[in-house]
Chains A and B, each alone.
Chain A
Amino acid sequence: EPEVTQTPSHQVTQMGQEVILRCVPISNHLYFYWYRQILGQKVEFLVSFYNNEISEKSEIFDDQFSVERPDGSNFTLKIRSTKLEDSAMYFCASSGSSGGTNTQYFGPGTRLTVL
């Protein structure tokens, strides 16, 4: 069964450093998403991406964040200058074809720890 994969599973970084989180969405999906989950809290939407453009973003997704699809398979989230409050699980998700229902499949997540 196709699945979303994410690397690394755990990333530890110093405050102020840049991090790049990587995702490989399900291969025939066209829509890609990033969410985050602070420990013990709900899952929060960050951004959605379609046709090499951001479709929608939340107020969490400020200028420190960027997304990119550098090739035909990877989808990345970059945090330019990490803050302590960026520590969270980051989940990538993907969904299918244009016009279809918004059935999003999530990856296993990357745990980001900012020291």
Chain B
Amino acid sequence: SAVISQKPSRDICQRGTSLTIQCQVDSQVTMMFWYRQQPGQSLTLIATANQGSEATYESGFVIDKFPISRPNLTFSTLTVSNMSPEDSSIYLCSVEARGGGPNEQYFGPGTRLTVT
């Protein structure tokens, strides 16, 4: 299994500012994923981050808006840039445990972001 922590757990930010969310895993993992969950909605994949390579973004998400870093096998950050109220969501980090089977995907506790 993998234990994931995220910082901050929640934040209230002003429009036009940026917030960086940190994701720390207690073991080395190959793949890390960032999801967004808008209020009352399901989870949408933002990007996949592998260590040592550029993140792969899903349709509708761009690097300028959601830059991601993956400096090592246990850590990643997601920045939400130039925020607007539409960015108010829960942002979840997820990992696939290294060497794990197809069901070995774990989620962090999420970061609740409110943009005013």
Bound together: no
Interface residues in chain B, defined as those with a beta carbon under 8 Å from any beta carbon in chain A:
none
Which residues of A line the B interface, CB within 8 A?
Answer: none
